[in-house]
Structure 1
Amino acid sequence: MATAISDIALTPAAAARVATIAERQNKPAILRLSVEGGGCSGFQYRFGLADAPDSDDVVTETDGVRLVVDSISLDLVRGAEVDYVESLGGAAFRVTNPNAASGCGCGTSFSI
């Protein structure tokens, strides 16, 4: 398990939301971000709570909440920031990914 703060970041707003969700579900405050093939632009982000980091995960921590990303997904999101935003259209985790050449309107899909 590697810790690389500059590889990916979790904003305080996202950390607070993860902590709230984890507390409600009686789980550790660990958010897993992974990238899968698919979506309208080629790749899509997947979020979920994790019980523990895996051995190949990169881990970053904000306000006691950990964000974990597997080594394969990290190549696609290195330098990204995970935020939690609320707007009239709803609330969601958002990834600002400097590696994405384009995205889609839903904000969950991207291409390189």
Structure 2
Amino acid sequence: MSEASISLTESAAKRVAWIAARQQKPAILRLAVDGGGCAGFTYKFELADRPEAEDAIAETDGVKLVVDPMSLELVRGSAVDFVEDLGGASFRVTNPNAQSGCGCGSSFSV
């Protein structure tokens, strides 16, 4: 278990806590990066039951954000936020490593 070089905003932590409570799960959000999407990589979010031993962990207001080592290389320095606007409500990653992204905000390239 290592200290993450990623962060979870208060807005995102509140949303994860709300979702976790409704699903009766721990307030642990897993961020993973998969190949694919219109820009090369996509962000994948899901609730986790527990962190894995190798995961990087960031914590905000008691809510954990966990990232596996391979994904961390692509999102190091990123912030995960929860945003509500005219386009809807979603988790968003502000990734300083991304060279380009797509209009939907869920895929990027490095």
Aligned to 2:94: 96
Give the secondary-structure state (helix, strand or coil) at the position aligned to 1:99: coil
Aligned residues: 110
Q: Does 1:111 align with 2:109?
A: yes
User: Deviations 1:58-97 (Å, cap 9, x if unpaired)?
Assistant: 0010000000000000000000000000001100000000
| TM-superposed deviation, 1:3 | 1.7
Q: Using the aligned pairs only, state the percent identity.
A: 68
| TM-superposed deviation, 1:55 | 0.9
Runs of 4+ with deviation above 6 angstroms = none
Matches within 5 A, 1:5-84: 7-84=5-82
User: Deviations 1:26-59 (Å, cap 9, x if unpaired)?
Assistant: 0000000000000000000000000000011000
Q: Write the letter of the residue equivalent to 1:70.
A: D
Measured in 1, the distance between the counterparts of 2:22 and 2:3 equals 27
Measured in 1, the distance between the counterparts of 2:28 and 2:3 equals 14
CA RMSD of aligned residues (A): 0.5
Q: Does 1:2 align with 2:2?
A: yes
Q: Which has the higher strand share?
A: 1
Measured in 2, the distance between the counterparts of 1:27 and 1:55 equals 19
Q: Write the letter of the residue equivalent to 1:100.
A: A
TM-score under structure 1 length normalisation? 0.97
Give the secondary-structure state (helix, strand or coil) at the position aligned to 2:98: coil
Q: Which runs of 5+ in 1 are unaligned?
A: none
